[in-house]
Structure 1
């Protein structure tokens, strides 16, 4: 077979493969991606609501410009209350950024060491967590521990654990997924242990330390550790496709307004949150943006260096197949393009 025929056959195979694969791509994602870019962020959010989200909040902080606040859809679908840009929202794993900053400050002050292990900090877990002697605080922060993820337990989100002990029990005596520092795997158990290590080092709940060292200096008066500390009317309702009820009352950790998360993220990225030497420590261990997911709530805290803009996006609808997650990432990218076109 000559080279030209081989090339033609390869192109046909690739074309057929592409066409076949499109049958397995949700057309809603394709539609959201190819639609003409709206002129404004508000138009983009309204369009996204038509794609199936119940409510969206977006906060934009671009350098040398006044902050912008946007909302579309419902704050509460049943009561027909419109979305509010200042609503509280469950920020889920975005809280790991606050934890990493807190660890950085405790390391800088000498209360913690990145190179001490689980065996040093939580000796009762030796023999219950594989490789406890070799998993350092640094590896926990960086998701390089190999410890199984407790939220991957069967049917976890149907009946989630509520305490440290209940969560830990889900992974005790389980084999490691890999040897420490041999791979990367995002794992909520790492931060479950980090929070326990901070509590023990401080002698009190580490959120009090976060308040003192992060929230108060930045005037973040709308960031909370739990639903127990807020008026539920101020919390945006959350919905999961196929589940008939509002998920607002389910406890899933930290809540904040988009503005508060944006103020924190700006301070994290420009370094103003750190004391001398702390930024170098932080840079060596963790990232400068994050996303979060719990049933009914997905959140994105992004910093776009090319346009010097912080964008916080909250979406109050989730689904088991993560179509809505992929859809929200498309919307986030379109919001970035809209901001960029306005420069």
Structure 2
């Protein structure tokens, strides 16, 4: 029997929030990032979703937002959604991995050639996204409302030196999500993977428990990792999904009209989040700001090829060993979708 961890303050917040209004239906929506619409992609998504649902239901449905991981760590909140304690959450691939390990197929390094292709493929309505979300729903019992990238391509940061070649990775302690594929990638490049929950990352970098980490540029910026990291190396090595889910029984309990409202509002909100990520990357909340506080370098295409040659075989082998034929079927579907979308440009 699972015990769902909910702090006293979070529990009180849930109770008070449920009593605050007289709406017929309440959707409690959790995410890990800042609540400001212009502060993070999930901040934009949840703001848009709340506005659309509440206004188009004439207040019959209220949406209560719990940003900044207020209700617990990623996997803990997924537990809460599965149990019906919380209606919905937007989670990282690391948070989803314990419930749907095949999310690790996204971790084939350098699989996506550019953000345009990634945006088309990492979508619940793409040819690949349809198969991916159907499998996730079947394995987890959750309803998928949205699928998008987690903020852009991952870059490396560290406190030791610029990463320009594979040799520069040797011996670096790099924080990863709790994903075996991420750990395998770092190991294959000569680094030391340190799987840590997101809430522990800043302190680990500050105290030297970890030398570095990898995340999208907007995430590095809005979490102030430049305060504890000196070097930023643009590698664009992986791009992982953010997965927006809802308790399936709760969704099924809604009227057909309300299901339609929640679904289209989530689609619009997901598009807003995807667009916000691109804006943040290019704005003074993204790379331009980090260039003022960090030493930034872009790894050359020649060196990227060497990174890919070192890392791809290990991750592909792990996916095949860990997820079997089903995982490889999903992986091959993703790679085919990438090739098809790339051919359109």
Report TM bin, short chain.
Answer: under 0.3
Q: TM-score, normalised by structure 1?
A: 0.24
Whichever structure has more helix as a proportion of its residues is: 2
Q: Larger Rg: 1 or 2?
A: 1
